[in-house]
Amino acid sequence: MQAPKDFSSVSPSAKSLLLMKGYTNIPYAKQAAALMPGPEVFELSFDEKDFWFWVRVMHFESRYWSIDQLLKQTDHTNILELSSGYSLRGADLCVKNKNIHYIDTDLPEVVATKQKMVTELELVAHLKGKLELLPLDVMNRTAFDDIISRFPPGPVTIVNEGLLMYLNLKEKETLCQTIHHTLKERGGCWITADVYVKRTAAMLATLPQSKGESAFMEQHHIEDNKFDSYDAAQAFFNDQGLELVKEAVFDPQILSVLPQLIKVLPEELRNSKERPPKIQATWLLRAK
């Protein structure tokens, strides 16, 4: 039998994301980033803070809020976050709402570091809802089902961002089957911010990347793992028994880093009427 694939080489990306989110007003991101030991992992231009730096930060800030936007449109109190990295959305929701049961999961090493973070941030005393931080490899169906069984009866909302581009087609199908099974049994929905479409050659040529980042992208076949188009993504989910119900709407008003981006906007873009290309969407899916 084939040994299960080791996904831990993906985990450094969570640190890079936290350090970027540390420049935004995403709840607890600044405090958590300050606790993160060691240097940035992909040699990104954190010192230069140029246009491309703020574009990236803005993209990840927007992706974070897009999940919150759709979460607010469900009234479910059982929430499971997959591959949450160092995101503290669960803690934020549990501080604000006593009815929430949030299970926040990632691979074991990330969870161990995050547990220390939560302790150092002294969040536990402020929690009104129930927050659990647990290891979960999303490819492990038995472990997934065990985690779901911790919730009290009722529908479950599953959320994730920054995972599907690390899974090949077969792995994506396996995860979709697991999620489909859960949603069929329990009711609820899946909010995923991972509907990324492949970039055009021109877009790839424009985007500056450090050597470390390019190597990481190649190692994990990130471009290949993206969808060919939004229609192809919808057809893929449809084949897995999951139907698109809603898409999050881009909301520039909520972006805390927009003023920084505008300050460094190149002249030609300042005067351009063209909208920047859409590279990602956040979808709410239900089991058919």
Ligand X SMILES: C[S@@+](CC[C@H](N)C(=O)[O-])C[C@H]1O[C@@H](n2cnc3c(N)ncnc32)[C@H](O)[C@@H]1O
Binding site for ligand X (CB under 6 A): 7, 10-11, 13-14, 17, 83-85, 87, 106-107, 110, 136-139, 161-163, 166
Specify the residue, 92 or 161, whose C-beta has the smaller distance to ligand X: 161
Residues 7, 166: contact at Cβ < 8 Å? yes
Neighbouring CB atoms inside 10 A of 268's CB total 7
CB contact at 8 A, 8 and 107: yes
Computed over its alpha carbons, how large is the radius of gyration of the chain? 19
Distance of CA 18 to the CA centre of its chain: 11
Question: Taking CB positions, which residue lies at the least distance from ligand X?
Answer: 85
Instruction: Tell me how far, at minimum, the Cβ of 138 lies from ligand X, in Å.
Output: 4
Give me the least distance between CB of 37 and ligand X, in Å please: 16
Q: Residue 283: exposed, middle, or buried by beta-carbon count in 10 A (0-12, 13-18, 19+)?
A: buried
Q: Is 18 or 100 the residue whose CB approaches ligand X more closely? A: 18
Q: Which H or E run contains 229?
A: none
Using the minimum distance from each CB to ligand X, give the nearer residue, 135 or 187: 135
**Greatest distance between any 2 Cα atoms in the chain:** 59
Residues 92, 119: contact at Cβ < 8 Å? Answer: no
Structure tokens at 47: 């010192």
How far apart CA 59 and CA 68 sit, in angstroms, is: 15
User: Nearest approach, Cβ of 87 to ligand X (angstroms)?
Assistant: 5
Instruction: Give 24 or 77: the residue with its C-beta nearer to ligand X.
Output: 24
When the beta carbons of 143 and 264 are compared against ligand X, the nearer one is 143
- Chain-centroid distance of CA 198 in Å reads 17
How near is the Cβ of 274 to ligand X at its closest, in Å? 28
Q: Using CA of residue 244, residue 250, residue 254, residue 256, what is the dihedral sign?
A: positive
Minimum gap (Å) between residue 272 Cβ and ligand X: 29
Position 26, amino acid: I
Min CB(253)–ligand X separation in Å: 21
Smallest distance from ligand X to CB 157, Å: 15
Q: Which is nearer to ligand X, 112 or 262 (CB)?
A: 112
Nearer to ligand X, 92 or 106 (CB): 106
Helices (H) and strands (E) counted in the chain, each on its own, are 13, 7
